[in-house]
Amino acid sequence: MRPHRSALFLLLAVTAVDSLIIVSTPLLLMKIIDDGILRDDMAVVTAIALVVAGLAVVDALAQLGQSYISGRIGQGVSHDLRVETFKHVQRQPMAFFTRTQIGLLASRLNGDVMLAQQALSTLLTSATSALTVVLVLAEMFYLSWLISLIAVGMLPLFVIPGIYVGRRLQRYSREQMQANGELGGIISERFNAGGAMLAKLYGRPREEADAFETRARTVREVGVVWTVYSRLSFIFMALLASLTTALVYGVGGGLVLNDVFQIGTLVALAALLGRLYGPITQLSAMQSNALTAMVSFDRLFEILDLKPLIEESPDAVALPAPDGGPAPEIEFEGVSFRYPRAGDVSLVSLESSALSPAEREKETAEVLHDLSFRAPAGKLTALVGPSGGGKTTTTHLVSRLYDPTSGTVRIDGHDLRDVTLDSLRDVVGVVSQDAHFYHDTIRANLLYARPEATERELLDACRSARIGDLVASLPSGLDTVVGDRGYRLSGGEKQRLALARLLLKAPSVVVLDEATAHLDSESEAAIQRALTIALRNRTSLVIAHRLSTIREADQILVIDGGRVRESGTHEELLAEGGLYAELYHTQFNRPGTNGTGPDGGGHAHEALVPTPVPGDGDLAARQPVVGGSLALGGTVPPGAGGDLVVRRQSEEH
Ligand SMILES: Nc1ncnc2c1ncn2[C@@H]1O[C@H](COP(=O)(O)OP(=O)(O)OP(=O)(O)O)[C@@H](O)[C@H]1O
């Protein structure tokens, strides 16, 4: 509220003007009757009537001003809240997003913020009513203490039901919001492209519609009760106001007949009564508004109170920017890791099927155990190993999606917990298996990596990533909309577009999860060449699924059961005859993984020495061959199709 202080003062000033007009009008009416009508003085009647009319216009303007200012304050607060919550959610760790149902989160950011704002605006208007009530009561006591006492005696009848109804309304508001959020959650989960596909293939539409209806019914039931309660207070107040008016006219009429005061005073008192109960009604609604606002604020603060697990240390230093200098080394030292407990990263109310409180606090199993290795600067380190061994988890720690439970991950000798998040993002580039693109143009998706990139740089990156031809063939070129609902890119095209994005970002460390999808040899070759460029001269950690990449690696780490079981080059590990050799014979050396013969040589180069993609830039393809070792496994003789042979990145410079 602090930033809105001046608006609050303005609101107070306008309210003061409004209140003065409200109390002066009945006095003027009294004068019109007692000094004008009863004394047959037309001049007085006309003059006072004109003043009353003028004041009415000023009052209307003051009320307009009041609504505008209180609206601005309410909207201002909700704007700040919404933006703050968005920024806070951005800072949450990945674990938060893997647990949270996005529809529920969206309902907090939209629905709750809106309700909080509405309640706050009404609350401000009601608060200003307090001033009016004080002035009106003072004037009534001045005119007749007896009538005023009757009016004041009736006040508890207005206030007590307000409190009761307010409590009920608060409870139903909370239930209604939760139920609405759940409805939104179902809609966003079932009707996004992936969810809709799953439902079509496996879903039972009737059961799904029934589940939706059950929740929709809750919204309806709670909504009906809420409406009745919110009307109830107004109906009751209106009834009481009418009864009190009757009482005042009854008692006041008697006082006029007994000449205690003139009829003008009675009319003024009745008019003041009308002006008293209006603001009092607002004041008693103030409590329920305050409570409604509290519900929404509570639900927002619940998110704001969630402490992000990954935070920048106050004296964090920047990692050296990747400006073409030597790439940094990555080092894992005694790293153990377990995924955070649900209770530490998410909120029960944002999960569609929350765990029990005991389960939420239960420690998760340790996934990485005392992992130590070095990924040498500028070299390719391949991670291989059985499924669930911890390869993906290891790469998550390099981009600091998570922090190790114990031990240290370093880049360029710096503990990642001591470097700024921005500099880490600049240094580390990640390409995941199923690269995500926003529902936007190819251009916008690429510029996301480097907003200042020129058209030429965008096209160069596409060419180097072997996606240039595809982009050129699209009717709208770079302006083709991709992503969730845009142009459907194939798996291989997506990976290459993701590589183009990576090339634009030009990080010095690359973390890559190779696609496992079976690709035809042309796509495979295109990706391989794009990769060679993307990884050149960069320190790379690649979860390798293709034999070509594995054999090209300067170092292979076999990760199994959260430990490094073996490390070495392809030849060394094969010679060892351990887990790697076993994996090689059972997994990598099968057709479709681009290794063929058990000797590992054979046609391994076939996928790497493809028919050139016509016209699709050839930065990689034209690299001269430096020695026979550049052909993977040394199977392609130097010069044989030499201009197409993929070079080992470590030998580029
Ligand atoms: N978000 C998570 N929360 C809790 N446990 C997780 C989470 N993600 C992965 N795990 C667990 O961590 C272990 C290692 O998983 P990880 O994904 O790192 O293995 P991987 O070697 O990459 O497997 P794959 O090759 O199948 O992708 C697995 O037992 C997995 O169930």
- Residue 628 has φ and ψ, to the nearest 5°, of -65, -25
**374 pLDDT band (50/70/90 cuts)?**
very high
Task: Give the position, in ligand 1's atom list, of the atom nearest the Cα of 94.
Answer: 1
Atom 6 of ligand 1, residue of closest alpha carbon: 339
Distance 339 CA to ligand 1 centre (A): 9
Per-position b or e across 470-482, b if 16+ CB within 10 A of its CB: bbeeeeeebebbb
Q: Are strands 563-568 and 380-384 parallel, antiparallel or unpaired?
A: unpaired
pLDDT reading at 545 higher than 50: yes
What is the number of other CB atoms lying within 10 angstroms of the CB of residue 71? 16
Q: Average pLDDT for residues 271-296, to the nearest whole number? A: 77
Q: DSSP class of residue 32?
A: I
Distance 529 CA to ligand 1 centre (A): 29
Q: Are strands 380-384 and 509-513 parallel, antiparallel or unpaired?
A: unpaired
Distance 56 CA to ligand 1 centre (A): 71
- Residue 352 has φ and ψ, to the nearest 5°, of -75, -40
Distance 605 CA to ligand 1 centre (A): 32
Ligand 1 in contact with 541 (CB < 6 A)? no
pLDDT for residue 333: 94
Determine the Cα–Cα distance for residues 78 and 92; give it in Å rounded to an integer. Answer: 21
Residue 273: closest CA among 252, 293, 294: 252
- Find out whether 442 and 504 touch, Cβ atoms under 8 Å: no
Residues in Cβ contact with 514 at an 8 Å cutoff, skipping those fewer than 6 apart:
433, 542, 543, 544, 545, 546, 549
Question: Which H or E run includes 371?
Answer: strand 366-375
Ligand 1 in contact with 349 (CB < 6 A)? no
Q: Could you tell me which residue, 620 or 140, shows the higher pLDDT?
A: 140
Determine the Cα–Cα distance for residues 7 and 9; give it in Å rounded to an integer. Answer: 5
Task: Give the position, in ligand 1's atom list, of the atom nearest the Cα of 396.
Answer: 18
Residue 647: closest CA among 627, 463, 325: 627
Q: Average pLDDT for residues 181-208, to the nearest whole number? A: 76
Atom 3 of ligand 1, residue of closest alpha carbon: 339
Best residue among 98, 391, 433, 579 to mutate for probing ligand 1's pocket (most ligand atoms within 8 Å of CB) is: 391
- What is the pTM assigned to this prediction? 0.68
pLDDT reading at 611 higher than 80: no
Distance 546 CA to ligand 1 centre (A): 20
pLDDT reading at 123 higher than 80: no
Atom 14 of ligand 1, residue of closest alpha carbon: 390
Task: Give the position, in ligand 1's atom list, of the atom nearest the Cα of 389.
Answer: 21
How far does Cα 156 stand from its chain's mean position? 45
Per-position b or e across 607-631, b if 16+ CB within 10 A of its CB: bbbbebbeebbbbbbebebeeeebb
Ligand 1 in contact with 391 (CB < 6 A)? yes
Ligand 1 in contact with 166 (CB < 6 A)? no
Ligand 1 in contact with 392 (CB < 6 A)? yes
Question: Which H or E run includes 620?
Answer: none
Q: What sections of 32-112 are H helices per DSSP?
A: 42-90, 94-99, 102-107
Tens-digit pLDDT profile for residues 329-338: 999 999 999 9
Q: What 3-state class would DSSP assign to 51?
A: helix
Residue 302: closest CA among 88, 1, 73: 88
Domains and CATH numbers, the chain: 2-304 (1.20.1560.10), 330-344+363-592 (3.40.50.300), 607-652 (no CATH)
For residue 227, count CB atoms less than 10 angstroms from its CB and return exposed for 0-12, middle for 13-18, buried for 19 or more.
exposed
Distance 305 CA to ligand 1 centre (A): 28
- Find out whether 541 and 511 touch, Cβ atoms under 8 Å: yes
Best residue among 336, 387, 393 to mutate for probing ligand 1's pocket (most ligand atoms within 8 Å of CB) is: 393
Average pLDDT value over all residues in the chain: 79
pLDDT for residue 647: 30
Determine the Cα–Cα distance for residues 320 and 508; give it in Å rounded to an integer. Answer: 10
Ligand 1 in contact with 98 (CB < 6 A)? yes
Atom 24 of ligand 1, residue of closest alpha carbon: 387
pLDDT for residue 318: 86
pLDDT for residue 530: 73
Distance 432 CA to ligand 1 centre (A): 14
pLDDT reading at 615 higher than 60: no
Ligand 1 in contact with 561 (CB < 6 A)? no
Determine the Cα–Cα distance for residues 299 and 322; give it in Å rounded to an integer. Answer: 42
Tens-digit pLDDT profile for residues 81-108: 888 888 888 888 887 887 787 777 887 8
Q: Average pLDDT for residues 392-419, to the nearest whole number? A: 91
Q: What sections of 338-412 are H helices per DSSP?
A: 342-345, 357-361, 391-398
Task: Give the position, in ligand 1's atom list, of the atom nearest the Cα of 365.
Answer: 5
- Which of 152-166, 458-472, 626-640 is modeled with the greatest confidence? 458-472
Ligand 1 in contact with 395 (CB < 6 A)? no
Distance 171 CA to ligand 1 centre (A): 41
Residue 469: closest CA among 493, 439, 438: 493
Percent of residues, the chain, with pLDDT higher than 90 = 15
Distance 388 CA to ligand 1 centre (A): 5
